[in-house]
Chains A and B, each alone.
Chain A
Amino acid sequence: MITRDVSLVVIGSGPAGLAAAIKAKESGIDEVVILERSEELGGLLHQCVHNGFGLLCFKEDLTGPEFACRLIEKVNELGIEYNLETMVIELNARRNIKAVNPQKGVMNLNAGAVVLAMGCRERTYHQVGVMGTRPAGVLTAGTAQRYINVEGYLPGKEVVILGSGDIGMIMARRLTLEGAKVLAVVEKLPYVGGLKRNEVQCIHDFDIPLYLQHTVTKIHGNARIEGVTMVEVDGKGDANKATERLIGCDTLLLSVGLIPENELSLQAGVKLDLLTNGPFVSERMETTIPGIFACGNVVTVYDLVDYVMWSGEIAGKSAATLVKGKKTQARKPKRGKESISIKAGNNVRFVSPQSIDKEIEDDVDIYIRVTEPMRNVEISAGDGNEDIYKKIYRAVTPGEMVVVRIPAKQLKTHNELVIKCEKLAWLGININFERCTGCRYCEAICSFGHFDEVNPVKSCIRIYNDLQSNVYFPIIAGPYTDAKCTSQRFVVIQGIEYDACALCPICCPIRPFFMEPGTENSLKCDMCGMDPMCVQFCSSGALTLATEKEE
Chain B
Amino acid sequence: MTRETEVTIVGGGVIGLATARELSKYKVDITLVEKEPDVGWGTTKCTTSQDLTFDAAYFFQGLGAIEGFKDMAFGPPGEPNLVGWERKTDPHVDLRGRIMGRSVGTMEKLCKELDVPYVSCGNIWVCKNKYDYYLLDKGIQHAKKYGYNNGNKIIDKKTLLELEPNINPDRVIGGLYSPEAGCFQVFRLCSALAENARQNGVNILTDSEVKAIERERGGSFILHTAKGDIRTRFVVNAAGLDGWKVAAMVKANNFSTFTIKIQFCILDKKVRNIVKHHVLARGKYNFQIVNIGATADEDASVLLGHAAFFGSKRWDHRITEREFMERIFIPARELYPMISEKDVIRTVAGSLTFENPDSGDIGARIETAPNVPRFVNVVIAFPGSSACVAIAEVVREVLEQEGMPLVKNQKFNPRSEGITDFSKITDRERDAIIAKNPAYSHMVCRCETVPEGEIIEAIRRGATTVDGVKQRVRAGMGRCQGGFCGPRVLEILSRELHKPKEEILLNSKGSRVLYYKSKYLLKEGESDY
Instruction: State whether the Cβ of A121 lies closer than 8 Å to any Cβ in chain B.
Output: yes
Name the residue among B342, B449, B518, B526 with the largest chain A CB count within 10 angstroms.
Answer: B518
- Give the interface segment out of A152-160, A194-202, A369-377: A152-160
Chain B residue at minimal CB-CB distance from A87: B443
Q: A1-B428, A127-B342 are in contact. Are A105 and B434 (CB under 8 A)?
A: yes
Are B324 and A105 closer than 8 Å at their CB atoms? no
Which of A140, A152, A179 is close to B522, meaning CB atoms less than 8 Å apart? A179
Are A179 and B529 closer than 8 Å at their CB atoms? yes
Are A121 and B318 closer than 8 Å at their CB atoms? no
Nearest CB in chain B: distance from A375 CB, A: 32
Rounded to whole angstroms, the CA-CA distance of A122 and B507 in the bound complex is 22
Are A155 and B513 closer than 8 Å at their CB atoms? yes
Are B449 and A124 closer than 8 Å at their CB atoms? no
Are B513 and A136 closer than 8 Å at their CB atoms? yes
Instruction: State whether the Cβ of B226 lies closer than 8 Å to any Cβ in chain A.
Output: no
- Give the interface segment out of B72-80, B231-239, B303-311, B481-489: B481-489
Rounded to whole angstroms, the CA-CA distance of A264 and B473 in the bound complex is 22
Which of A103, A142, A178 is close to B518, meaning CB atoms less than 8 Å apart? A178
List the A side residues contacting B347 at CB < 8 Å. 126, 131, 134
List the B side residues contacting A322 at CB < 8 Å. none
Rounded to whole angstroms, the CA-CA distance of A210 and B324 in the bound complex is 29
Instruction: State whether the Cβ of A102 lies closer than 8 Å to any Cβ in chain B.
Output: yes
Near B by CB (< 8 A), chain A positions 157-181 give 157, 176-180
Which of B341, B430, B502 is close to A153, meaning CB atoms less than 8 Å apart? B502
Q: A87-B446, A223-B511 are in contact. Are A131 and B483 (CB under 8 A)?
A: no
Which of B483, B516, B518, B521 is close to A121, meaning CB atoms less than 8 Å apart? B483
Nearest CB in chain B: distance from A48 CB, A: 16
Are A178 and B521 closer than 8 Å at their CB atoms? yes
Nearest CB in chain B: distance from A233 CB, A: 13
List the B side residues contacting A51 at CB < 8 Å. none
List the A side residues contacting B348 at CB < 8 Å. 134
List the A side residues contacting B518 at CB < 8 Å. 148, 152-154, 178
Are A180 and B521 closer than 8 Å at their CB atoms? yes
Name the residue among A131, A156, A178, A217 with the largest chain B CB count within 10 angstroms.
Answer: A131
List the B side residues contacting A129 at CB < 8 Å. 321, 324, 341
Nearest CB in chain B: distance from A89 CB, A: 6
Instruction: State whether the Cβ of A139 lies closer than 8 Å to any Cβ in chain B.
Output: yes
Name the residue among B342, B347, B349 with the largest chain A CB count within 10 angstroms.
Answer: B347
Nearest CB in chain A: distance from B408 CB, A: 42
User: How does the 8 Å CB contact mask read for A206-223 relative to B, with 1 for contact and 0 for none?
Assistant: 000000000001101011
Instruction: State whether the Cβ of B145 lies closer than 8 Å to any Cβ in chain A.
Output: no
Instruction: State whether the Cβ of A237 lies closer than 8 Å to any Cβ in chain B.
Output: no
Rounded to whole angstroms, the CA-CA distance of A121 and B479 in the bound complex is 9
Instruction: State whether the Cβ of B273 lies closer than 8 Å to any Cβ in chain A.
Output: no
Rounded to whole angstroms, the CA-CA distance of A197 and B407 in the bound complex is 76
Instruction: State whether the Cβ of B438 lies closer than 8 Å to any Cβ in chain A.
Output: yes
Instruction: State whether the Cβ of A106 lies closer than 8 Å to any Cβ in chain B.
Output: yes
Are A121 and B480 closer than 8 Å at their CB atoms? yes
Chain B residue at minimal CB-CB distance from A180: B521
Rounded to whole angstroms, the CA-CA distance of A103 and B447 in the bound complex is 22
Rounded to whole angstroms, the CA-CA distance of A222 and B320 in the bound complex is 15
Instruction: State whether the Cβ of A349 lies closer than 8 Å to any Cβ in chain B.
Output: no
Which of B319, B342, B443 is close to A132, meaning CB atoms less than 8 Å apart? B319
Are A146 and B487 closer than 8 Å at their CB atoms? yes
Near A by CB (< 8 A), chain B positions 483-529 give 483-484, 486-487, 491, 501-502, 505-522, 526-527, 529
Instruction: State whether the Cβ of A135 lies closer than 8 Å to any Cβ in chain B.
Output: yes
Q: A135-B511, A136-B513, A147-B487 are in contact. Are A124 and B480 (CB under 8 A)?
A: yes
List the B side residues contacting A148 at CB < 8 Å. 518
Instruction: State whether the Cβ of A240 lies closer than 8 Å to any Cβ in chain B.
Output: no
Chain B residue at minimal CB-CB distance from A122: B483
Are A153 and B516 closer than 8 Å at their CB atoms? yes
Rounded to whole angstroms, the CA-CA distance of A1 and B486 in the bound complex is 29
Instruction: State whether the Cβ of B216 lies closer than 8 Å to any Cβ in chain A.
Output: no
Instruction: State whether the Cβ of B317 lies closer than 8 Å to any Cβ in chain A.
Output: yes
Are A224 and B512 closer than 8 Å at their CB atoms? yes
Interface of B is mostly: mixed
Near B by CB (< 8 A), chain A positions 24-41 give 37
Near A by CB (< 8 A), chain B positions 344-370 give 344-349
Instruction: State whether the Cβ of A143 lies closer than 8 Å to any Cβ in chain B.
Output: yes
Nearest CB in chain B: distance from A496 CB, A: 27
Which of A1, A103, A131, A155 is close to B324, meaning CB atoms less than 8 Å apart? A131
Instruction: State whether the Cβ of B427 lies closer than 8 Å to any Cβ in chain A.
Output: yes
Are B515 and A131 closer than 8 Å at their CB atoms? no
Are A102 and B442 closer than 8 Å at their CB atoms? yes
Q: A127-B342, A179-B526 are in contact. Are A143 and B517 (CB under 8 A)?
A: no
Are B483 and A143 closer than 8 Å at their CB atoms? yes
Instruction: State whether the Cβ of A250 lies closer than 8 Å to any Cβ in chain B.
Output: yes
Instruction: State whether the Cβ of A85 lies closer than 8 Å to any Cβ in chain B.
Output: yes
Near B by CB (< 8 A), chain A positions 177-192 give 177-180
List the B side residues contacting A146 at CB < 8 Å. 487
Instruction: State whether the Cβ of A447 lies closer than 8 Å to any Cβ in chain B.
Output: no
Instruction: State whether the Cβ of B431 lies closer than 8 Å to any Cβ in chain A.
Output: yes
Instruction: State whether the Cβ of A489 lies closer than 8 Å to any Cβ in chain B.
Output: no
Near B by CB (< 8 A), chain A positions 86-124 give 87, 89, 98, 100-103, 105-106, 108, 121-122, 124
Instruction: State whether the Cβ of B254 lies closer than 8 Å to any Cβ in chain A.
Output: no
Are B516 and A127 closer than 8 Å at their CB atoms? no
Nearest CB in chain A: distance from B384 CB, A: 21
Rounded to whole angstroms, the CA-CA distance of A156 and B512 in the bound complex is 10
Are B317 and A143 closer than 8 Å at their CB atoms? no
Rounded to whole angstroms, the CA-CA distance of A148 and B516 in the bound complex is 10
Which of B323, B438, B491, B512 is close to A136, meaning CB atoms less than 8 Å apart? B512
Are A154 and B514 closer than 8 Å at their CB atoms? yes
Instruction: State whether the Cβ of A151 lies closer than 8 Å to any Cβ in chain B.
Output: yes
Rounded to whole angstroms, the CA-CA distance of A102 and B491 in the bound complex is 18
Which of A136, A137, A179 is close to B527, meaning CB atoms less than 8 Å apart? A179
Are A133 and B318 closer than 8 Å at their CB atoms? yes
Which of A102, A152, A178 is close to B441, meaning CB atoms less than 8 Å apart? A102
Rounded to whole angstroms, the CA-CA distance of A172 and B28 in the bound complex is 58
Nearest CB in chain A: distance from B441 CB, A: 4
Are B483 and A153 closer than 8 Å at their CB atoms? no
List the A side residues contacting B502 at CB < 8 Å. 153
List the A side residues contacting B341 at CB < 8 Å. 129
Instruction: State whether the Cβ of B69 lies closer than 8 Å to any Cβ in chain A.
Output: no
Are A154 and B446 closer than 8 Å at their CB atoms? no
Nearest CB in chain B: distance from A539 CB, A: 46
Nearest CB in chain A: distance from B190 CB, A: 19
List the A side residues contacting B514 at CB < 8 Å. 147, 153-155
Are B510 and A152 closer than 8 Å at their CB atoms? no
Rounded to whole angstroms, the CA-CA distance of A251 and B506 in the bound complex is 14
Rounded to whole angstroms, the CA-CA distance of A217 and B318 in the bound complex is 12
List the A side residues contacting B529 at CB < 8 Å. 176-177, 179
Are B510 and A223 closer than 8 Å at their CB atoms? yes
Instruction: State whether the Cβ of B451 lies closer than 8 Å to any Cβ in chain A.
Output: yes
Instruction: Jot down 19 A-B pairs with beta carbons below 8 A, ordered by A.
Output: A37-B443, A87-B449, A89-B443, A101-B441, A106-B431, A121-B484, A126-B345, A132-B320, A136-B511, A136-B513, A153-B515, A154-B515, A154-B517, A157-B521, A177-B529, A179-B521, A218-B320, A223-B510, A224-B511
Sample of 18 further A-B pairs with CB below 8 A, known A126-B481, A223-B511, A224-B510: A37-B446, A87-B446, A89-B423, A106-B427, A121-B479, A124-B483, A126-B347, A134-B317, A151-B491, A151-B501, A153-B501, A153-B515, A153-B518, A154-B516, A177-B529, A222-B510, A223-B507, A223-B508
A: residues with CB less than 8 A from B are 1, 37, 85, 87, 89, 98, 100-103, 105-106, 108, 121-122, 124, 126-127, 129, 131-137, 139-140, 142-143, 146-148, 151-157, 176-180, 217-218, 220, 222-224, 250-251, 263
B: residues with CB less than 8 A from A are 265, 315, 317-321, 323-324, 341-342, 344-349, 423, 427-428, 430-431, 434-435, 438, 441-443, 446-447, 449, 451, 479-481, 483-484, 486-487, 491, 501-502, 505-522, 526-527, 529
The 4 A-B pairs at the shortest CB distance, nearest first, are namely A179-B521, A87-B443, A223-B510, A136-B506
